Amino acid sequence: MEHKNKGALAGIRVIDIGTMVAGPVAATLLADYGAEVIKIEQPGRGDALRHIGPSLEGESLWWNVEGRNKKSVTLDLHHPEGQRVLKELLKSADVLVENFRPGILDKWNLSWKYLQKVNPRLVMLSVSGYGQTGPYSSRAGYDRIALAMGGTLNATGYADRAPVKLGTAMADYSTAVLGALGTMVALHHRDANGGTGQQIDLSLYETVFRFTDVMVTAYEKLGITRERTGNIHFAAAPGDHFETCDGRYIVLTVSNDRMFGRLCEAIPVLAGDERFSTHAKRITGIEAVNKIVADWIKSLPVLEVCKIFEEKGLAYSLIYSIEDIVADPHYQARGSIATVEHPQIGALKMSAVQPQFSGTPSPQIRPAPALGAHTDEVLRGIAGLSVGQIAELRKAGTV
């Protein structure tokens, strides 16, 4: 079944031969807006994401979130016939997404130097741990590895203990976002600027490094080395995760003198204290100002703290659990959580398509496909294979 609303990217065909998160989710982001995404999976087993994480009735829930809006075709790219069929599919494709370790596709005659001859208009998004070049390019790379090399882990956690990982795969997901952005830039260059197809070289560690704000500049110019400071950040004074008397945690961030003035209205003991008269002074005396705020918050229940902060227009939030998220009226009002009807396991809630556009309605989310559900349809309709040819490929284990 096709989308009733085709979406802004209708007409763009993407072949996704990646596995797990960083590459395939870039394709999912494109699929969310209507691109036709054909996922190539290993016969018999499929994407590794189908077998990881919590499952229901044999269905990986993680796969069902990130495999949405795609078609599934089984094709063994280790086989020469599988490689030949992929090249047939790529003749009419706009984008190929892959995240194999550099050098693997070259062994299969599927690297950029071969595929640009198959389709000069092809945009090839190549995602890897360390990039296509450089002394580390052949290393395996995963989310936490990239967080380590990109500089984020060393700055996350407390100074007196080991670095702490983030709670979700943010290196993978941020790489997927840059991958989708890079793909759209390359398509615009091709279609609007009279360019040709090209390969996009995107690494996990460089994505993480790109989002380390002023870290390298401050080190190079001022010799400042970013250290682990727990929940303290130089742009927030006061700023921390403060506990209320009933055991909830509230994030409060005060980043300028105007906002601090509002906080002083809520906590009058802060007003007039020369130690806290500017942000520069407050960050120098961060422990003192945070303690005053912490003691005040600790004396009150969470609802009262939230009411006061809301009245004063301060930047704050409860630290939400997933239970808080699914019950929150703001999430509900904005439709931040979508419901997708899966044919086997019923209604599944998941993150909705983001961002939202005023003139481009987001298409309805289709459930993630069963393994190989579209193999015959795609191989006949796009690769031009006959029923007999597909049967021979299936007999040989190629599909």
Looking up residue 268, the CATH number of its domain turns out to be 3.30.1540.10
pTM attached to this predicted model: 0.94
pLDDT computed for residue 192 by the predictor: 95
pLDDT computed for residue 123 by the predictor: 98
pLDDT computed for residue 363 by the predictor: 79
Place of tokens 């790379």: 141
pLDDT computed for residue 2 by the predictor: 44
Within-domain flag for 374: yes
Within-domain flag for 334: no
**317 shares its domain with 368:** no
Within-domain flag for 120: yes
Within-domain flag for 229: no
**353 shares its domain with 321:** no
Give the C-alpha separation, 103 to 89, whole Å.
22
Range of the domain at 299: 239-325
pLDDT computed for residue 3 by the predictor: 41
User: What residues in the chain have per-residue pLDDT under 50?
Assistant: 1-4
**280 shares its domain with 356:** no
Give the count of domains, the chain: 2
Within-domain flag for 227: no
Beta bridge partners of 125: 97, 200
Last residue of a domain, one of 270, 291, 325: 325
**Which two three-digit tokens encode residue 137?**
């390019």
Last residue of a domain, one of 290, 325, 360: 325
Within-domain flag for 6: no
**156 shares its domain with 293:** no
**164 shares its domain with 192:** yes
DSSP-derived secondary structure for 304-345:
HHHHHHHHHT--EEE---HHHHHH-HHHHHHT-EEEEEETTT
CATH for 33? 3.40.50.10540
For the chain, give the longest Cα–Cα distance: 85
Catalytic residue among 32, 172, 201, 240: 172
- From the list 155, 175, 178, the residue with the least C-alpha distance to 165 is 155
Beta bridge partners of 249: 243
- Is 172 an annotated catalytic residue? yes
Gyration radius of the chain's alpha carbons: 25
Place of tokens 């595929």: 115
Within-domain flag for 382: yes
Last residue of a domain, one of 278, 293, 325: 325
Q: Is 209 helix (H, G, I), strand (E, B) or coil?
A: helix
What value, to the nearest 5°, has the Cα angle with vertex 186 and ends 181 and 188? 95
pLDDT computed for residue 1 by the predictor: 36
**352 shares its domain with 315:** no
Within-domain flag for 217: no
pLDDT computed for residue 92 by the predictor: 97
78's CB contacts (< 8 A; 6+ apart) are 108
19's CB contacts (< 8 A; 6+ apart) are 47, 48, 49, 99
